[in-house]
Structure 1
Amino acid sequence: MSRWFQEAWVLLKESIAGYLDDDALSHGAAMAFYAATSLAPILLIVMAIAGIVIGNDAAQLALSAEFAGVMGPQSADLL
């Protein structure tokens, strides 16, 4: 059983060293930043397409209902 723990420990150390050597924290932060900053333009594009397909009022109502479900009705009213 101790051999299993030794191998697991070596694997854990090598995994952490590889994670840090590959600068994974910075890559993860960059991906999160780009995902967060791309949400507003994507939402505008989706709203424009939905406005063309189902009409502006229906698209705004649907978006408001989705926001109310996620954030709560008071927060959705602020938007």
Structure 2
Amino acid sequence: MNREEMKKAAVDTVVTIAKEEAGAVLKLLNTDEVKELLKAQMDIVTAPLEQEIKNTDSLWVKVRNRLYIIVLNKAVDDIVEGVKKKIG
């Protein structure tokens, strides 16, 4: 085995170990906690939309913002479900 082959074998071994460790850590994640973290961050994004809904008389703005909020919340749910499927 030459030097390049040894380096490649060492790198492959390290990558394999890192993937296994990352997989083990991901399996320990509580997806409900992840979902709550994402929802908390989403509140920061949706708060201005909610504020605009309260402060406008425009029906169009109210409907548009409500749709944005619904889509964003659905995206969070879909992301969490995707994570659950991939690590489960």
TM class, shorter-length: 0.3 to 0.5
Question: So what's the TM-score if we normalise by structure 1?
Answer: 0.44
Question: So what's the TM-score if we normalise by structure 2?
Answer: 0.41
